Amino acid sequence: MDDIQSHTTSADALVLFGVTGDLAYKKIFPALYAMARRGVLNVPVIGVAASPWSLAKLRKHVRDAIEKSGEIDDETALDHLLSLLSYVSGDYNDPGTFKALKNALGDARRPTHYLAIPPTLFETVVLELGVVGLAEQARVIIEKPFGRDLASARELNRILRSVFAEDAIFRIDHFLGKEAIMNILYFRFANTFLEPVWNRNYVASVQITLSEAFGVQGRGAFYESVGCLRDVVQNHLFQIVALLAMEPPAYQGFGAVHAEKHKIFRAMRPLEPGDLVRGQYAGYRQEPGVAEDSDVETFCALRLFIDSWRWQGVPWYLRSGKCLAGTAAEILVELKPPPQRLFDDSIPANGRANYLRFRLSPRTAVALAARVKRAGKTFTGDQRELFLLDEQSDKEAPYERLLGDAIVGDGALFAREQCIEASWAVVEPVLTEHHQVESYKAGSWGPKAADDLIAADGGWHNPSA
């Protein structure tokens, strides 16, 4: 969906705060290299951090990061990226650091500032950018989490809006840059056959699973401050729900998409403790940085309702967790069975009615389950899938796509202020009022209570490899 407005101008510099950190090393540098390979990175890249590094050390750091992410197959592109680099060393609490940055920018007047730094530093950096005049025609990119509850999200947005216009704020969530997520929007509104059945009259339930077969991988201290509900559900899974549930946008453009997504978040019924199951994998409390009596969830399952004309009464089941039986992301939209049993097996006693299945990862696919008659005189059949595997080579990685979009000012795939606050309002009631975590075995599909939550609607569909 093309919505780069005619007055939008591309940035003339990229400022990377936190250039010596993990995020830059693992995600941003490989994305910049990929952009250089495609010939679309042509602005100065100014790194800012407290470490007293030389430019030579930064360049070596960037080369190491790209080597670790995969084979360097274009030395010319890498040399081009390294030639664009410069470095400003200084404390974010020191106004002199921002004056040095202004000098380093030289004639650049439309920088994009990427805050790849802890959220506790957002306010300091944003306000200082405003003080030294580096925000007037600039953009700012911030990483999730966008707050940790409704109040902190509102405060973060207040700080950002005190310096930057909303259209200049790019809240980056790598999940929104995935090709499979974008395909949900396209598949829904590019195909005529879907719309007549995409409502409460034909859809029995929707379930979304985002599972990981690994644990917190040494990030126990971080996870203790976040938990699965904040880390994955309130943002990633809710964004998927919004794309599946939204009404058709009124016009071509990301503004229309954001408006319809906001309506879905507003229509979501606030969660109650009985709607939420929290789990914790056995062994989590032995992870470094985790409290011995931790009640932080590494697994969430919830039942959600959207109080709109289209979706009234349809349950949406969401679950995500670590140390589960597989790593996958999948959506199952189960349709209601035929209204009359014309054939003995047309409404399966055990098993699912017709459904539409979106596989988001590890392979992208769309499948439609339909019943087909067996050969012979009897009217019996089997349910089979019409399966479309959509594996595309040389597709852009999420950070590459999103970083490029932010530089040119395309906000289609970024989270907006209203949507973030509305989604926090849905989970706000259960952030502190909830049942204790239930332990589950690593390699399973989570605690038993999660199965009980969805039992009335046929149970969970467990993604296969």
Residues 190 and 122 in one domain: no
Residue 149 lies in a domain: no
**CA triplet 23, 24, 25: central angle to 5 degrees?**
90
Phi, psi for 197 (deg, rounded to 5) = -105, 0
Angle at which helix 29-37 crosses helix 75-84, to 10 degrees, equals: 120
Residues 428 and 337 in one domain: yes
Residues 330 and 183 in one domain: yes
Structure tokens at 45: 């890249």
Residues 334 and 210 in one domain: yes
Residue 335 lies in a domain: yes
Q: What is the pLDDT of residue 391?
A: 67
Active site residues: 236
Residue 67 lies in a domain: yes
In the chain, the N- to C-terminal Cα span, in Å, equals 31
Q: What is the pLDDT of residue 18?
A: 96
Residues 136 and 185 in one domain: no
Q: Among 118, 143, 168, identify where a domain stops.
A: 143
β-strands 328-335, 203-211 pairing: antiparallel
Residue 4 lies in a domain: no
Judged against a pLDDT cut of 80, whether residue 351 lies above it is answered with no
Judged against a pLDDT cut of 50, whether residue 306 lies above it is answered with yes
Q: Which domain holds residue 388?
A: 176-399+410-457
Residues 184 and 318 in one domain: yes
DSSP string covering 313-347, please?
Answer: T-EEEEEEESSBS--EEEEEEEEPPPSS-SSTTSS
Q: Among 99, 120, 143, identify where a domain stops.
A: 143
The H-assigned helical ranges of 3-74 are 22-23, 29-37, 55-69
Q: What is the pLDDT of residue 274?
A: 96
Q: What is the pLDDT of residue 83?
A: 97
**CA triplet 385, 388, 393: central angle to 5 degrees?**
155
Judged against a pLDDT cut of 70, whether residue 70 lies above it is answered with yes
Question: pLDDT tier at 7 (50, 70, 90 boundaries)?
Answer: very low
| 258-277 confidence digits (pLDDT tens) | 999 999 999 999 999 999 99
CATH number of the domain enclosing 125? 3.40.50.720
The residues, ordered by sequence, that sit 6+ positions from 199 with a Cβ below 8 Å of its Cβ are 310, 311
From residue 93, give the alpha-carbon distance in Å to each of 67, 86, 156, 224, 411.
Answer: 33, 21, 18, 27, 30
Judged against a pLDDT cut of 90, whether residue 377 lies above it is answered with no
Residue 151 lies in a domain: no
| 104-150 confidence digits (pLDDT tens) | 999 999 999 999 998 889 999 999 999 999 999 999 999 887 999 99
Judged against a pLDDT cut of 80, whether residue 342 lies above it is answered with no
Residues 321 and 443 in one domain: yes
Residue 58 lies in a domain: yes
Q: Are 115 and 141 in contact (CB under 8 A)?
A: yes
Question: pLDDT tier at 347 (50, 70, 90 boundaries)?
Answer: low
Residue 423 lies in a domain: yes
Q: Is 243 left (phi over 0), alpha (psi -120 to 50) or beta?
A: alpha
Q: Are 13 and 138 in contact (CB under 8 A)?
A: no
How many domains would you assign to the chain?
2
| 159-177 confidence digits (pLDDT tens) | 999 999 999 999 988 888 8
Q: What is the mean pLDDT of residues 23-43?
A: 94
Phi, psi for 115 (deg, rounded to 5) = -95, 80
CATH number of the domain enclosing 359? 3.30.360.10
Residue 135 lies in a domain: yes
Q: Which of 66-70, 222-226, 379-383, 384-388 has the lowest mean pLDDT?
A: 379-383
Phi, psi for 239 (deg, rounded to 5) = -65, -40
